[in-house]
Every structure is written in structure tokens, then in C-alpha cells.
């Protein structure tokens, strides 16, 4: 129990500190709220019009399912896990990484938990508010009322968050060799947006694009957008299995990249 407490002490302290700061300084919450309602609201209004022009059905999917899929993408994005790449780059460019390496903490653990803590308050508050608004305006699809929905939603959400952090961590760690990772970050980030169903619901993907979204780590990190569809009831375990595979593989990649990166750092500045 003592060992477990020691391992959890740092994450708990980081989360408490950042949530407390978010409550005391709500500017980020206000900005995030405006942005999410503007982006998601405009997109849903656009798709509502498109579905209406097509008699309410596109590719055997109705607006109700597509809208919740889009909503889940934007809700997940509130965690802002993608920013961890640039935080790594900033640490390395400023030399702050050498200071953190000298501390009796895991640098990777510190940076990951800090990224989670920086977005979790906005995520919780806005997601609750937006869920209520969305439910009142368009209702719930029947797939969200079955017993298996909530447990599998939580499970794929956690796996997606871990995979997203790992993918963006790999990009960030490349800063040890690449001075400016922004081009790499842009490619990875836009690929995740495209395959994750940000602006085009995954139910409307052409067959080849859907396969890429299912079997690539980029699409797998956003499987939370798949949970509203009827197919989720029969293939959820397969998709979560894909997520776990990519989590293990990307975790191993991070281990070896970070091992090589530490060789490039002189703790004593020599």
C-alpha cells in the first residue's frame, strides 16, 4: 500500500494543483466553452441541414447517430492531450528538461499527468453541460440506452486517452533530435482529426478510409466516436483490443526513444 501511495502521490498532487488553479482562474474554462459550442454547434447545424436535404438518411445513418459521434470527438478533444508534444519541445528547447531530469521524479510521468490535469477541469464541466444541451435539443440514440454502452464508453475513452498521449509523446520526444517538431505534429494531428471523425462522422467514411481508421493508431485513439453506432454492440471488444495493441506497441517505442534520449542529456550540464 505504501508503494502504491508513493506512486500515486505525484499524480494526485499535480491534478489537485491544476484543478484548483482552474477553479480560481476560470478564463480557460470560458474560452474552451465558447470554442466548443461554436465549433461543434456550427458543424451540427450544417449536418442537420445536409441530412434534411437527403431525406434524413446518409449511408444508412441518421443525423441523431452522426451528431453524437461528432459530439464525442469534440468532448474528447477538451482534454487537449495533443499539446503534450509542444510541451516536450518547449522543455527541450529551453533546457528545462535537464532540470526536471535531475529531480527525483519520472519526467515522462510528470509531463503526462501535468497534461491530463491541465485539461480535465474544462473537460468535466463542459462535457456535462454540453451533454445536457445536446440531449435536450436532439435526444439520445437508442444505442446509448443499452446496458453495455456506459462501461464500454468509459473503457474505450480511457484507452483512447492513453493512446493519444503515447502518440503525441512520441512526436514530442523527437525534439531531442529534431529542432522543430511542428511539421511532424501537424501531420500526425491532422491525420488523427481526419480518421477520428472530427468533421466527417465515421459512418460516412468510404470503405477504404474506414479500414484505415479502424486499424491505424490514429483512428484507434478516437474510437470513442464509434460508440454510438449499432456496430459497436457487436465489435466493441475487437476495437478495444486494437487500442490495447497500439498502446503496448507505442509504449515500447516510447521506452526505447526515451532511453536513447537520456543519453543525449547531461544531468550535470557537462
Q: Which helix (H) or strand (E) holds 190?
A: helix 182-196
CB burial class (10 A; 0-12, 13-18, 19+) of residue 6?
exposed
Q: Which residues contact 141 (CB under 8 A, 6 or more apart)?
A: 64, 65, 68, 228
Tell me which residues of the chain have a pLDDT lower than 70. 1-7, 266-270
If you compute the radius of gyration of the chain from its CA atoms, what whole number of angstroms results? 20
Q: Is residue 269 in a domain?
A: no
Q: Is residue 270 in a domain?
A: no
CA dist 81 and 166 (Å) reads 10
Count of domains observed in the chain: 1
Q: Is residue 72 in a domain?
A: yes
Q: Is residue 127 in a domain?
A: yes
Q: Is residue 177 in a domain?
A: yes
Range of 40's domain? Answer: 2-264
What pLDDT sits at residue 25?
A: 81
What pLDDT sits at residue 270?
A: 41
What pLDDT sits at residue 224?
A: 95
Total-model pTM? 0.92
What pLDDT sits at residue 65?
A: 92
Q: Where are the alpha helices (DSSP H) in 25-148?
A: 27-53, 63-77, 84-94, 96-101, 107-138
Amino acid at each position: 500500500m505504501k508503494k502504491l501511495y508513493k506512486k500515486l502521490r505525484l499524480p494526485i498532487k499535480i491534478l489537485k494543483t491544476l484543478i484548483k488553479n482552474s477553479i480560481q482562474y476560470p478564463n480557460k474554462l470560458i474560452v474552451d466553452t465558447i470554442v466548443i459550442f461554436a465549433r461543434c454547434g456550427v458543424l451540427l447545424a450544417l449536418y442537420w441541414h445536409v441530412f434534411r436535404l437527403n431525406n434524413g438518411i446518409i449511408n444508412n445513418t441518421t443525423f441523431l447517430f452522426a451528431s453524437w459521434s461528432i459530439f464525442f470527438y469534440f468532448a474528447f478533444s477538451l482534454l487537449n492531450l495533443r499539446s503534450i508534444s509542444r510541451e516536450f519541445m518547449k522543455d527541450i528547447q529551453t533546457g528545462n528538461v535537464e532540470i526536471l531530469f535531475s529531480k527525483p521524479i519520472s519526467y515522462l510521468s510528470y509531463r503526462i499527468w501535468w497534461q491530463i490535469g491541465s485539461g480535465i477541469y474544462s473537460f468535466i464541466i463542459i462535457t456535462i453541460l454540453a451533454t445536457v444541451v445536446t440531449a435536450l435539443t436532439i435526444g439520445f440514440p437508442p444505442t446509448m440506452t443499452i446496458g453495455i454502452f456506459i462501461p464500454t464508453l468509459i473503457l474505450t475513452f480511457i484507452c483512447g486517452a492513453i493512446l493519444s498521449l503515447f502518440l503525441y509523446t512520441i512526436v514530442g520526444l523527437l525534439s531531442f533530435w529534431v529542432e522543430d517538431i511542428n511539421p511532424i505534429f501537424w501531420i500526425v494531428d491532422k491525420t488523427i482529426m481526419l480518421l477520428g471523425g472530427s468533421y466527417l462522422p465515421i459512418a460516412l467514411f468510404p470503405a477504404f478510409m474506414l479500414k484505415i481508421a479502424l486499424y491505424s493508431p490514429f483512428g484507434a485513439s478516437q474510437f470513442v466516436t464509434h460508440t454510438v453506432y449499432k456496430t459497436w454492440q457487436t465489435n466493441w471488444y475487437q476495437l478495444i483490443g486494437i487500442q490495447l495493441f497500439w498502446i503496448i506497441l507505442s509504449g515500447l517505442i516510447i521506452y526505447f526513444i526515451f532511453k536513447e534520449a537520456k543519453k543525449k542529456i547531461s544531468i550535470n550540464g557537462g
